[in-house]
Amino acid sequence: MDRIIDKMHEAGIKVILGTPTYSIPAWMWHQHPDILLTYQKGGKAYYGIRQNVNYTDPDFLFYAERIIRKMMEHYAKHPAIIGYQVDNETTPRDINNDNFQAMFRNHLKEKFGTVEALNKTWGLQYWGMTINDWDELAPRDGITNTAYKLEWERFSRQAVTDYLQWQTRLVREYKRDDQFVMQCYMPSVQEVDQRESAKEMDMMALNVYHGYQDDLKGDEIAFAGDYFRSVKKGVNYLVTETNAQTIGWNSRSQQPPYPGQMRQNVYAHLGSGANMVEYWHWHSIHYGQETYWKGVLSHDLQPNRAYAEVTKTAGELEKIGKKLVNLKKENKVAILFSHDSNEGINFMPFDQGGSPWENNPNDYYRNQLVAQFHRILYRNNIGVDFVFPDDDNYDQYDLLIIPSLYIASDELLEKINTYVRNGGHVIMQFKSGFCDENSMVRPMMAPGPLKEACGFHYQEFSNFRTMALKGDPFGAGSEHNKVSTWAEYLICDTAEPLAWYDHPYLGEYPAITVNQYGKGSLLYQGCLLSDTLQERIIRREMDRLNLTTPDQQLRWPLITKSGKNEEKNTIRYYYNYSSEPREITYPYNRATELVTGKMVEKGNKLTVNAWDVLIIEEPAR
């Protein structure tokens, strides 16, 4: 390690040092076989892979602390080292070891105080499963109670938080003031509480992987950027890992980038607010599981097409990078993201095609509902942030999008009501407000505390495959005028129906409503809209609220991102996510394209080549 870091320093390469805790050495497993993960229903982890350790195990924590302290003592002074990463892509890992079960029971004692309180809050009397003593609480394996399962997932996220905070504090004891601490998070954002776990870190960092070739759309890059930028507001983030040549744990998904795609991706990250892009990894590995997770260099260790494109991009960044970093955005639209709602829906899923008897958590909330809203905003070039249940900044936004907020406390629902009452505008999806924070269905007329803001009530709901909206009210065309999956039987009180189901019986209930409430409005979707319908609804609201900008004249595969740089100038990126050159009409003030240095005037026709990007700096006025 000394040799390598010294060599890096000599070559002018800066080093971020990671704590080496995500893969344990063979001797540790051999001396402490119980250190490995136990899963539910007798499943267990085996040695031979990384991230197989129970990171709440005392033996493991002993060795982890020892190596972190030794490493920090030795390296903190090294001039090459600019910062630290704690662990790697930490997730809850479904720990089910006995010590974790005990920790969970202790957590419950602390949170609920008495078994009587637990029995009542969780409804354990159903099927006669009340407990008389904490020891009678069964392990997670066969549990059906949704409140138990929800709390278990919270506690599992808390374990990640505790572990990363513990490592962060250890590193902070030794690090220099000019060095930072961070962790490389994954874009499967539902797994971890990013805000809590990064509280004592200096910045966010993330590892984003995606398809290449015709599968490169830029969605994942934009989603990750928007999300992590919102976790630590005002601090730009790092991309610590992303695709170099190809990815995959076998040879089934090799997709070397088309010419231009690697370079375009760097600017896609910067346009979303990244301050750094690193590749996993430098050269391709000749052994083991990640043989086909190729680096910038192939196994031959020779210069190649990828290396040439990285070199070209790095040269550009040397020239113009200062103008691109620390980009700041002021978005008018936000999506409310609820970890609890993701889990609550996991345990009572409503997606199509699955069994009514068995549930395999599929993160439908994250991967379908939230992803659809974000994808449509992205493809229409509408800048978006995320907000979270604990945030108190909703009123910074003109439009708040609320995907199925299945799990929510009264307090959160009241915060939404207040936001609307005070002039905010909401697009809300079905099932919002259905359960309280313990997964109890509210024993009141749905949508419970949201009833007034929504302007309707309902007592019934139905799954179904697909239906049309009567009369195609949004002009989506017969192929796209489709709703699916879920329908609430809304009965309007003060709300105005916007669309009706085309169905002999459900036809008497509106599919979409809008309600004026206080100074704001709430548009409600009682069913799952097709992408086209969702796009029509969102653009309609954007127009209605005067939020539409010239950016909405473009649509994917032409993507634009913008923000203000350190000089307060506006940086505008124009990306072409296709294999054909495309033309845009520049709609803003006189500016400079930074790569070519050419002047650009309002109304100019500009060509964006295939998988290319224009980077335009418009001076602050």
Binding residues among 232-251 for its own copies as defined by CB under 8 A: 245-251
Interface with its own copies, residue 305, by CB under 8 A: yes
Cα gap 419→398, rounded to integer Å: 10
Per CB under 8 A, contacts with its own copies among 336-375 are: 347-352, 354-359
Interface with its own copies, residue 446, by CB under 8 A: yes
Q: Quote helix, strand, coil % in the chain, to nearest 5.
A: 35, 20, 45
Interface with its own copies, residue 152, by CB under 8 A: no
* Selected binder of its own copies within 439, 530, 534, 570 (CB under 8 A): 439
Q: Which is nearer to its own copies, 139 or 587 (CB)?
A: 139
Hunting for tokens 């971890």 — which residue is that? 192
Q: Give the count of alpha carbons within 13 A of 472, CB side only.
A: 8
Q: Quote the distance between the C-alpha of residue 131 and its chain's center.
A: 38
Q: Which is nearer to its own copies, 227 or 292 (CB)?
A: 292
Q: What is the sign, positive or negative, of the torsion defined by CA atoms of 450, 454, 457, 463?
A: negative
Per CB under 8 A, contacts with its own copies among 44-83 are: 44-50, 52
* Selected binder of its own copies within 106, 114, 188, 253 (CB under 8 A): 253
List, in sequence order, the alpha helices (H) in 126-218. 146-174, 194-197
Interface with its own copies, residue 315, by CB under 8 A: no
* Selected binder of its own copies within 67, 314, 440, 584 (CB under 8 A): 440
Per CB under 8 A, contacts with its own copies among 520-539 are: none
Interface with its own copies, residue 579, by CB under 8 A: yes
- In whole angstroms, the minimum distance from the beta carbon of 94 to its own copies comes to 15
Q: Which is nearer to its own copies, 124 or 206 (CB)?
A: 124
- In whole angstroms, the minimum distance from the beta carbon of 538 to its own copies comes to 25
Per CB under 8 A, contacts with its own copies among 384-403 are: none
The DSSP annotation for 242-292 comes to EBSS---SSSS---PPPTTHHHHHHHHHHHHTEEEE--B-SB--SSSTTTT
Provide CB contacts within 8 A for 323, sequence distance 6+: 565, 567, 569, 571, 594, 617
Report the candidate in 58, 62, 64 with the shortest Cα–Cα distance to residue 22: 64
Residue pair 543/474 in contact by the 8 Å Cβ criterion: no
* Selected binder of its own copies within 12, 42, 315, 597 (CB under 8 A): 42
Return the H-helix or E-strand segment holding 180.
Answer: strand 180-182
* Selected binder of its own copies within 200, 290, 414, 496 (CB under 8 A): 290
Site size with its own copies, rule: CB under 8 A: 103
Cα gap 170→573, rounded to integer Å: 40
Q: Which is nearer to its own copies, 357 or 475 (CB)?
A: 357
Cα gap 62→64, rounded to integer Å: 6
Cα gap 449→429, rounded to integer Å: 15
Both structure tokens of 617: 């700096």
* Selected binder of its own copies within 54, 96, 101, 145 (CB under 8 A): 145
Per CB under 8 A, contacts with its own copies among 21-40 are: 23-27, 29-30
Interface with its own copies, residue 215, by CB under 8 A: no
Q: Which is nearer to its own copies, 103 or 143 (CB)?
A: 143
- In whole angstroms, the minimum distance from the beta carbon of 188 to its own copies comes to 13
Residue pair 561/271 in contact by the 8 Å Cβ criterion: yes
- In whole angstroms, the minimum distance from the beta carbon of 68 to its own copies comes to 15
- In whole angstroms, the minimum distance from the beta carbon of 289 to its own copies comes to 4
Interface with its own copies, residue 441, by CB under 8 A: yes
- In whole angstroms, the minimum distance from the beta carbon of 295 to its own copies comes to 12
Per CB under 8 A, contacts with its own copies among 456-495 are: 459-463, 486, 489
End-to-end CA distance of the chain: 50
Per CB under 8 A, contacts with its own copies among 93-122 are: 122
| Interface map 169-208 toward its own copies (x if CB under 8 A) | ----------------------------------------
Range in contact with its own copies (rule: CB under 8 A) among 129-137, 191-199, 227-235, 533-541: 129-137
Provide CB contacts within 8 A for 336, sequence distance 6+: 386, 387, 388, 389, 400, 401, 402, 403, 405
Tally of residues, the chain:
621
Cα distances from 429 to residues 353, 420, 455, 483, 526, in angstroms, run 21, 15, 14, 13, 6
Amino acid (one-letter) located at 589: N
Q: Which is nearer to its own copies, 49 or 603 (CB)?
A: 49
Q: Which is nearer to its own copies, 289 or 589 (CB)?
A: 289
Q: Which is nearer to its own copies, 356 or 603 (CB)?
A: 356
